[in-house]
Chain A
Amino acid sequence: MQNSAFTRRVLLQRGCTLASLTATVPWFIEKSALGMLGDPALSSQPGVADDRILVVIQLGGGNDGLNTVVPFGDDEYYRARPTIGIRAPGAAAKDALPAALALDGVRGVGLHPALAPLKELYDEGIVSVVQGVGYPNPNRSHFTSMDIWQTGRLDAKGSGWIGRYFDNQCNGTPKPEAAVAIGRNAPLALEGDIQKPIAFESASLFRWNGQDLHASLKEPYDRLNRAGALTDPTRAATTPNQDETQTQFLMRTALDAQVSSDRIRAAVAKPTLVTYPGNALAQQLKIIAAMIRDGMPTRVYYASMGGFDTHGGQTGTHNNLMRQFSEALLAFQRDLKEQRNDGRVASMVFSEFGRRVKQNASGGTDHGTAAPMFLIGNSVKPGVFGRHPSLVDLDQGDLKHTIDFRSVYASVLEDWLQTPSSKILRGNFENPHLFVTKA
């Protein structure tokens, strides 16, 4: 059975069937017992495991794209941003602020100086910078634009694009833990009609608080919640048309919850292979890396970082944000490499919009439109892609996008997750092929 004909599609179908048939065995146990994860023999592509993972990193508040990937070669940039513009590499020092980081072989654009850790990854050839990403008739409301990005629809309605990816993979049977968000709320992007994501802020919160009240409660709690394993499956179905009663379903989920809580907390408690910075995004990525290392069956992780709504005095704030973001990313990538999981993880970074070309009167920038995205991973096509939008030909003071964000999604879906994108994105978006591997 273990030959190249055993494709990922077959695996997925098998995974679904098993999940729906077993009433009492927790999904985690069953997956690891069958050894269906991390077996390189199952890969259809040399060097790339078939159990690929996508990590989505959301920069909330509208990241200033023009000060992230800096178009220093365009004088118009400095005219529009006389005090907050980032000087060109090699240009005369100004206010002791560092200059943009030049990228080898790329003319006219460079990275924000605090993105040095990201540049390190870029120099290793595992970063793809996609310029000018946006969508038609841009919406400048945080809420609506974020919903547009998360649903992958211009009307911002309906399920999330990643949720639909899972809905399409698994006919009718959601896979618990397939999509995990580290944070208080699960993002709309992971919400499918069938697939429901789980979210938790930190591993220590993914547990019952009652045990803190008194030590004597822990044991009876465990017995009451782990009884699902003991339920006799032949006692099932007191009514027709259902393979599991409500109580059995709840007993099984409660057991699942206990097992995954144990497992996640044990995974996170292990010392990491690298040291992470203390910032919030780094701490989220640390949890994600621990779960990946532990062989969790999760295929999409979601992390997020806020504070990008820099309407005033943005230079210092944005500098900190860039530093935190890129340090977190570097630590994560180093950890994955140490784990030897760097080949099966790709990360995608986005924000709901960029910011106005012209700086405002408060040394900040207002809500704008198109902005760059980053893709990070061994399999991404390294380099800078797409045209940088013109700083002169503007739409109400904002950049005109040069690539639709749904095209980037199409590449992630088709080239990385190896699934056709048109049904998920409800339309055919040109695939810019941002990965070196192909389906």
Chain B
Amino acid sequence: MGNVFQPLPSKDFDYAAAQHLLNRAGFGGTPSQVRALVELGLDAAVDYLVNFEGERVSNEGVEFKSDILRAQTPEEQETLRRARIAKDTETIARLERERQQRQNEDRAQIAAMKRWWLARMIESGRPLQEKLTLFWHGHFATGYRTIENSWHMLMQNGMLRSRCAGNFAELARGIVSDPAMLKYLDNDENRKASPNENLSRELLELFTLGEGNGYSERDIKEGARALTGRTFRGNEYFFDKNQHDGGGKQILRRSGNLTGDDFISIILEQPACSRFIALKLYRFFVNDAPGLTRDGADMIERLAKALRDARYELRPALRALFRSQGFYARENRLSIVKSPTQLMVQTVRGLGTPARSVDRLVEAGDLMGQELFQPPSVKGWPGGRSWINTATMFTRQNVAIFLLTGRTNRGPASGTAEPYDAMHLVEHLRDASGALDSRECVRSLAVVALGGDPGHERLRELEDYLASVGGTINNERVQALLCLITAMPEYQLC
């Protein structure tokens, strides 16, 4: 014992452990999926989730437009210029209306992209890929409303997805060449003659080293100079040589005519970088309760070392994390507050409910504080307990009611009342005569939905309810039980 990063003894990889793994490295699964993971055993189960390339991806073929917000053609620019000189208000107004129309079309497209991504999370055979993409979206947070270009958001999303389990260095290099991020943090205005420090500051503070971890204001200033000229033309990254400051700089005690690439390399040499990324991964995958236990700090240190040892390759580090004793330790079970996305996707994937209306789910996500492609700021979603307040608590309980029954705030929703067969969650509990024991069903449903046994007092409330309505198990009763279980405060944890 003692080493939280030692692999879990394979005999300890039971149903609860496999469920924990699938909730954290994905969005949960039905009892039969969890049992399949137990069958695989720890190593193969982790490999199955982490080496996801061979698994199917659905929802891939959706077409989006890349040119809604294309730059003006020279002809259009000329027309506008002439209209301005001639004070031709009609033409100016027409061009303005056309611009407005394109912007409206683009806003409709980002709304479609939100639905597309949420549906993908619900359906993908590679849950960890989507979960990591969401993680990096929160880490390298970029908001649509600031950049107002849906195609750029989608390109960034694709870049994050394709590199999500690859090398962190590639993610960092990708983000400083990413049009959406360059726009979001004003690097398109970071020029030799008038440097803009926004990207440099956040790169150090939020993306790599963490606030106060060994860099100075001077490093930010010099870093900004190194990043000058990194901009975009249309939909492509563009290095504007003329705007780049090629002069001598000193960043984090290294000097030379440093470029943006050099800046990234220098950052990655700092041990603080691996620790900061390890901390973020720990908060996302292991435990997000306030404070840090000694074992928690130890895990972060070992995860950071795993990242350094693998030269920032994420896959080996994640593999070690998901196999580690610490990951499965009691203090880390049910210790994360589900994000709104996790809550919705896990309800569908774990309980096997119909998705009903992705449109409504996107809307509910906004109400619960997680609008995809629109993190609240460059800091991303603070997560943890900040997801929860008295109003979101009701929205969270009600979105589960919607998924289970189709019922909304305004009564039964028309057109979404797809029947839900909940019996599949208990079928395996039938005895030789085909009968179901109600107490066993209640307990099993609670464990499946809550990711663990809530204790006999809580189970007794559910048993009492079942007894009060007759005690027999049928689809209606199972659904009613799930309505109650998803409304338990414990359901907010995973």
Kindly state the separation between the CA atoms of A185 and B392 in the bound complex, as whole angstroms: 11
A216 touches B291 (CB 8 A): no
CB closest chain-B residue, reference A194 = B386
Kindly state the separation between the CA atoms of A338 and B148 in the bound complex, as whole angstroms: 47
| Chain B residues, CB < 8 A from A257 | 390-391, 393-394
| Chain A residues, CB < 8 A from B389 | 176, 196, 198, 253
Assess whether B376 is interfacial by the CB under 8 Å rule.
Answer: yes
Assess whether B430 is interfacial by the CB under 8 Å rule.
Answer: no
Kindly state the separation between the CA atoms of A176 and B390 in the bound complex, as whole angstroms: 8
A253 touches B391 (CB 8 A): no
Assess whether A6 is interfacial by the CB under 8 Å rule.
Answer: no
Assess whether B341 is interfacial by the CB under 8 Å rule.
Answer: no
A198 touches B398 (CB 8 A): no
B393 touches A239 (CB 8 A): no
A253 touches B493 (CB 8 A): no
| Chain A residues, CB < 8 A from B70 | none
Choose among B90, B369, B483, B489 the residue with the greatest number of A CB atoms under 10 Å from its CB. B489
Type the 1/0 row for B478-491, where 1 means its CB is closer than 8 Å to any CB of A. Answer: 00100110011110
> With A208-B487, A220-B461 in contact, is A360–B398 under 8 Å at CB?
no
Assess whether B407 is interfacial by the CB under 8 Å rule.
Answer: yes
Interface residues in B435-465 by Cβ distance below 8 A to A read: 457-458, 461-462, 464-465
Type the 1/0 row for B374-418, where 1 means its CB is closer than 8 Å to any CB of A. Answer: 001110001001101111111001100110010111010000000
CB closest chain-A residue, reference B490 = A247
> With A240-B293, A247-B334, A250-B492 in contact, is A196–B484 under 8 Å at CB?
no
Type the 1/0 row for A159-177, where 1 means its CB is closer than 8 Å to any CB of B. Answer: 1000000000000000011
Interchain residue pairs with CB less than 8 A apart (10): A199-B391, A212-B411, A220-B461, A220-B465, A224-B489, A239-B293, A240-B294, A241-B292, A246-B289, A250-B388
Q: Which of B93, B146, B480, B488 contacts A217 (CB 8 A)?
A: B480
Distance from B211 Cβ to chain A, minimum over Cβ atoms (Å): 13
Q: Which of A186, A198, A213, A239 contacts B291 (CB 8 A)?
A: A239
B468 touches A254 (CB 8 A): no
| Chain B residues, CB < 8 A from A256 | 390
B290 touches A241 (CB 8 A): yes
CB closest chain-B residue, reference A199 = B391
Distance from A260 Cβ to chain B, minimum over Cβ atoms (Å): 5
A210 touches B390 (CB 8 A): no
Distance from B17 Cβ to chain A, minimum over Cβ atoms (Å): 19
| Chain B residues, CB < 8 A from A143 | 145, 148
Kindly state the separation between the CA atoms of A250 and B489 in the bound complex, as whole angstroms: 5
CB closest chain-B residue, reference A252 = B489
Assess whether A94 is interfacial by the CB under 8 Å rule.
Answer: no
| Chain A residues, CB < 8 A from B398 | 208-210
Type the 1/0 row for A235-255, where 1 means its CB is closer than 8 Å to any CB of B. Answer: 000111110011101110110
Number of A interface residues in the complex (CB < 8 A): 56
Assess whether B193 is interfacial by the CB under 8 Å rule.
Answer: no
B484 touches A224 (CB 8 A): yes
Distance from A355 Cβ to chain B, minimum over Cβ atoms (Å): 14
Given contact pairs A176-B389, A185-B366, enumerate 4 new A-B contacts (beta carbons under 8 Å): A147-B145, A158-B377, A198-B390, A239-B293
B391 touches A238 (CB 8 A): no
Q: Which of B337, B401, B408, B462 contacts A246 (CB 8 A)?
A: B337
Distance from A288 Cβ to chain B, minimum over Cβ atoms (Å): 15
Q: Which of A191, A209, A224, A227 contacts B376 (CB 8 A)?
A: A191
B334 touches A217 (CB 8 A): no
Kindly state the separation between the CA atoms of A186 and B367 in the bound complex, as whole angstroms: 8
Assess whether B432 is interfacial by the CB under 8 Å rule.
Answer: no
| Chain B residues, CB < 8 A from A159 | 377
Q: Which of A144, A157, A240, A254 contacts B489 (CB 8 A)?
A: A254
B394 touches A213 (CB 8 A): no
Distance from B141 Cβ to chain A, minimum over Cβ atoms (Å): 12
B484 touches A246 (CB 8 A): no
Choose among B148, B393, B487 the residue with the greatest number of A CB atoms under 10 Å from its CB. B393
> With A147-B145, A157-B377, A225-B489 in contact, is A216–B468 under 8 Å at CB?
yes
Assess whether A205 is interfacial by the CB under 8 Å rule.
Answer: yes
Choose among B335, B388, B389, B405 the residue with the greatest number of A CB atoms under 10 Å from its CB. B389
Assess whether B331 is interfacial by the CB under 8 Å rule.
Answer: yes
B390 touches A242 (CB 8 A): no
A242 touches B458 (CB 8 A): no
A209 touches B407 (CB 8 A): yes
Kindly state the separation between the CA atoms of A228 and B388 in the bound complex, as whole angstroms: 15
| Chain B residues, CB < 8 A from A223 | 461
Distance from A292 Cβ to chain B, minimum over Cβ atoms (Å): 18
